[in-house]
Amino acid sequence: MPRITILTLLMFCSMNSFGQNISVTFTGTGAATQIDSVIATNLTTNQSVTLPGNETLILTPIPESHTFQS
Is residue 4, in this structure, part of any structural domain at all?
Answer: no
pLDDT of the chain along its 70 residues, tens only? 566 677 676 666 655 555 678 898 888 888 878 888 989 888 888 999 999 988 998 888 776 655 555 5
Look up the domain containing 62 and give its range.
20-69
Alpha-carbon distances, residue 23 vs 5, 31, 56, 58, 67 (angstroms): 35, 25, 6, 4, 15
pLDDT, residue 4, reads 66
Is residue 64, in this structure, part of any structural domain at all?
Answer: yes
pLDDT, residue 50, reads 92
Cβ-based neighbours of 70, under 8 Å, separated by 6 or more: 40, 42, 47, 49, 57, 58, 59, 60
pTM recorded for the entire structure: 0.56
Is residue 7, in this structure, part of any structural domain at all?
Answer: no
Is residue 3, in this structure, part of any structural domain at all?
Answer: no
Is residue 2, in this structure, part of any structural domain at all?
Answer: no
Is residue 39, in this structure, part of any structural domain at all?
Answer: yes
Q: How many folded domains does the chain comprise?
A: 1
